[in-house]
Amino acid sequence: EDDVCAAQRFWREVNAVRTFNDLFVRVGHPIWDAAETNAALVNTLKNSVQKGYRGPPAHLPPPEELIRKHRAEYNLQQLIDTTKDEEGWKALLKRRWGIEHTDKEGQKDKQATKKKNPSSCGSDSKNAFQKYLQLELQDAIQQLPLCPDFPHFYNTLKIAAAHGLNQLETKLFDISSITSKYYYLTQSLTLLKGLESFKLGTTSRTHYNLTVPLCKALTKGLMSNPCLVRLDVSGCGLPKGAAPLKILISGLLRCIHLETLVLNGNSITQQGMASVCQVLTHTQIRLKQLSLVSCGLQSAAASDLAAGLMSNKSLQVLLLDRNPSLGVTGLSQIVYNLAFSPSLTSLSLSHGLPSSHQRLVSSSASDSAGQTHSLDEALAKFFSFNNTIMNLNLWESAVSGSFTKAVLKAMGKNTSLMHLDVANVGTLGATTMLHFGKALAHSCVLESVIFDNNNIDTLGIQQFYAGLFLKKRMQTDISTKPAASTNKSNKQNTMADIDAQRDARRRELLDLMSPTEKRQAEDAKRDFRLTLKSLSFNGNPGLSTHEQTVKVIGQVLHPRSIVRSGSGEGGGETEVESIEQRLTTLSLARCALSQRTAEALGLALEHNNTLTKLDLQSNSLGAKGMEHLALGLKHNRTLVELNFSNNGLNEAGGIWVGTLVETNSTLTSINLFQNKLGISGIKAVASALAKNTGLMHLDLGMNLLRNKGATLLAEIGILGNKASALATLGLKFNLIGDSGLAALGKALIANNSLTHVYIAGNNKITDKALVAFVHKLQEENTSKCKVDLAARLALIDPKRRQNIVWVSPLPKKITIEQIQQRAGGG
């Protein structure tokens, strides 16, 4: 463990070095000035030549010559004439552009194309061809500054147009060497009659803006293209004035099939927003998605946007993330008007209000009719009237003060909202959590709620429990029930006795009443119809050890039934009605949960038949917590993913991990990172792995395996199971050395299921052992298992080191793109 910490400190120091002076100081070398440093570098190069480290000086032809030579090798028309099938184009994509074109990507491209232009899609064999065609045209455009070969550009463009190219992405570049300036852009949009998606962007090293001349060229092309469905000009640096955006929008108004407009990262003023709203209100354009992320929108622009949204009848997705300058006023206007949208399904307002606005959430805003509304009134109206919204994202927007009783009551009655993200919205107090519980209990559609990092305390979870499960306070608090008898007997318990004890403990912890108790509490119990499938309370340590935390978890996870009084002639008959459990995902990471909570989870999961994913990372539940889970999951047949990382299992907990892996055959993914299982713990896990045939992903990183643990895992867990399904194995930061790596290598060669192994951070492995390990794996492993440190061979493998040239930072006038072009476009 000390070695791991030392290695982490070492790499932090290495990564902190930024200048030669910093390097000199750290290694205790006298500080050289620029001339001395340069002379030392030149001298180093001379020495490398004298000692034969370098070959003869290479002749580098100019970029234009290299580009033309490369194009001659990949003549597009010849390739079209000779390549007839899908596999041929896939091979060309990989050889020419280094891209693996999957069937999934091809199907996605095909569906997107078929939507507006069925004839251009053709057979399945055109999927990879369309991608190759797109990259070839994009390359012809991007090379114009270095190689202004316009005959080649126009020839490629005509071929692309003839074969119905429907997607194009290009970046802005320096046009000073091009006489026709932006005419290439106009021609591309004009000739590609089937173009449906066009994206214009900038490189990270350049800062070219969408100037007025560029906007005019783009607009002229847009006016000639009737099929455009999606336009993306994210981060193109639209000037703050209204003119450029106004010119661009004038061209878009001719694109009557436009469905998606992405303007992310462009500063949009009130005048610019007025132009955008022309698209929203156009009678022939049915815009479905509008993305205005990080556009610096002010409250004045919000007023115009709200008016445009009121008139629009087709918008389905609106993304307004990272616009904190909207303020409470602007946000209220937008939300209020969206209440009347007949089509909106997804609204994202994350980072919409900084925490400094928390005290202003009740301030008023005016709608288009001049009436004023606070943010909570706007939200209440939105939930009450909008019956199409399905996804609402309020992450990290300081709106917690707006969740009033009226707002949450309206949310509970909403008939369309399925996914709600209210993480990091500020402190959610007890009263707010009470109304959230009532809303979730009343909702008949809400499936996913995220409450992460909202300072929810014990009183808050108690009120959430009351709102979720109870119609009114019960006369006797459930938590005051007498505890189950814990008298121990010297007689050995039979299996029936153990089951009876677990049932009694389950009733006590999970608030499961006997039929008599249920009849007595019928007037207080809510008609249970919870529709939640995913619930997340991550990062709320205030939940801690409170009794109601245990009961909420138990009530949500345990299959329940309610007893209704009979209505027959006798009037005394009762009917037991089962309640459908739907929760599939539960996240309780970093909540400081107690072992009592782990016990409740284990008891509830024993009979749960819906939960598939459980996240309990960073809760310090310890070995006892894993014991409760292992016993509960012994009979569970639905949970497939468990995250129990950083829970302080130690070696004693490893024994129970082994029990879990051995007795549960449905878990496919277990994360045990940073639990210090040690040698005895990993031995138990290895023995269980030898019998398990269902587990596919296992993370044992930072568990102090050392060489002995790695050897046990390899010889018992991997080699001992010929029917293993294990595909991914994580072993990072485990103090593994050469002998442990060698044992793993032998096991992996004989194994046919593992596809990925992660061993980074094991700094006791020597370079020589790593090279031998990776080479042997590549040569003899039939499943082609990949190792995360294989990329490091470029630094340590002598054979590859001979083919690598190390260079100092590039001069300002030389770009990465120029280096790639000189290397043949690779």
Residues 656-708: pLDDT tens digits?
Answer: 999 999 999 899 999 999 999 999 999 999 999 999 999 999 999 999 999 99
Q: Examine the pLDDT at 343 and tell me if it is beyond 90.
A: yes
pLDDT at 607 over 60: yes
Crossing angle for the helix pair 650-663 and 622-633, nearest 10 degrees? 10
pLDDT at 395: 94
Token pair belonging to 147 = 């190689």
pLDDT cut 70: percent of the chain above it: 77
What's the DSSP call for residue 97?
A: I
Which tokens is 606 given? 């024993």
86 — pLDDT class (breaks 50, 70, 90):
confident
Give me 86's structure tokens: 């899908």
Q: How far apart are CA 338 and CA 306, in angstroms?
A: 8
Distance in angstroms (rounded) separating the CA atoms of residues 97 and 820: 12
644 confidence band (pLDDT: 50, 70, 90) = very high
> pLDDT digits over 735-747, tens only?
999 999 999 999 9
For residues 742 and 424, give the distance between their C-alpha atoms in angstroms, rounded to a whole number.
Answer: 47
Q: What is the mean pLDDT of the chain?
A: 82
Report whether 700 contacts 730 (CB < 8 A).
Answer: yes
Band of pLDDT at residue 813, cut at 50, 70 and 90: low
- Where residue 141 falls among pLDDT bands split at 50, 70, 90? very high
| 142/149 Cα distance (integer angstroms) | 11
The strand pair at 372-374 and 364-366 is best described as antiparallel
Q: Is the pLDDT of residue 525 over 90?
A: no
The pLDDT of 138-148, averaged and rounded, is 90
Residue 576 makes CB contacts below 8 A (sequence gap 6+) with 515, 561, 562, 563
CA dihedral 607, 613, 615, 621 (to 10 degrees): 30
Residue 809 burial (CB count, 10 A): 6
Rounded to whole angstroms, the Cα distance separating 790 from 773 reads 9
Cα dihedral sign, 509-512-514-516: positive
Say yes or no to pLDDT of 499 above 50. Answer: yes
What is the pLDDT confidence band of residue 567, given thresholds at 50, 70 and 90? very low
Q: Average pLDDT of 552-559?
A: 69
CB 385 within 8 A of CB 340: yes
Nearest to 292 by CA among 342, 335, 232: 232
What pLDDT does 557 receive?
72
Mean pLDDT of 404-419: 95
Task: Choose among 251, 253, 333, 260: nearest CA to 290.
Answer: 260
> Does 521 have pLDDT greater than 90?
no
Give dist(CA 655, CA 11) in Å, integer.
34
Interval 279-326: pLDDT, tens: 999 999 999 999 999 999 999 999 999 999 999 999 999 999 999 999
C-alpha to C-alpha distance for 40 and 315, rounded to whole angstroms: 63
